[in-house]
């Protein structure tokens, strides 16, 4: 099973909420209440998103957070990378450290392609799309047209 970290998931939730109220700014307390996430978690996510340049903060009584760009210009991949770092599905494609099987693994070259495909999929979805009503996901299975003829 491939699963994002909880913090990355929460990052997408927080950023999507900011996209849904843009261009307004929202303070961390209201963001936590609106998203039903713990306030400390929201604060941590906002700090990471701000460090990555995805959100900006305004201090003061009327302060809060807002997206730095239009929601259609920010991909889910950017949010995940801001929270979890570079995307990698296996140790040999990550920056964690070398795999023991590095020099003789027959699958290693293919994992880079798989990482690219998953990264492209996440990069192809924007926050602007995340706030739209759910759309059916197209099937990637081949479609067959079977014609029958009557005898």
pLDDT score, position 58: 87
In a domain, 88, yes or no: yes
Domain-embedded: residue 34: yes
Establish if 138 belongs to a structural domain.
Answer: no
pLDDT in tens, 91-116: 666 666 666 666 777 877 787 788 88
Does residue 110 form part of some domain?
yes
- Residue 49's domain comprises 6-130
Q: Are 65 and 46 in contact (CB under 8 A)?
A: yes
Q: Which two tokens stand for residue 64?
A: 């809060």
Can you tell me the distance from the alpha carbon of 18 to that of 67, in angstroms, rounded to the nearest whole number? 7
CB atoms within 10 A of CB 113: 10
Q: For residues 78 and 146, which has the higher predicted lDDT (pLDDT)?
A: 78
Is 139 part of any domain? no
Report the pLDDT value the prediction gives residue 30, as an integer from 0 to 100: 92
CATH number of the domain enclosing 125: 1.10.10.10
């Amino acid at each position: 099973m491939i699963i994002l970290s909880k913090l990355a998931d929460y990052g997408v939730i927080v950023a999507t909420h900011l996209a849904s109220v843009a261009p307004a700014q929202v303070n961390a307390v209201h963001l936590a209440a609106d998203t039903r996430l713990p306030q400390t978690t929201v604060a941590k996510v906002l700090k990471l998103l701000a460090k990555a340049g995805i959100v900006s903060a305004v201090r003061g009584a009327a302060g809060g957070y807002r997206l730095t760009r239009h929601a259609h210009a920010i991909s889910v991949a950017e949010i995940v990378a801001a929270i979890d770092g570079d995307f990698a599905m296996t140790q040999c494609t990550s920056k964690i450290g070398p795999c023991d099987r590095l020099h003789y693994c027959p699958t290693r070259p293919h994992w880079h392609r798989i990482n690219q495909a998953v990264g492209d999929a996440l990069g192809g979805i924007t926050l602007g799309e995340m706030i739209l009503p759910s759309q059916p996901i197209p099937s990637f299975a081949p479609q067959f047209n079977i014609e029958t003829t009557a005898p």
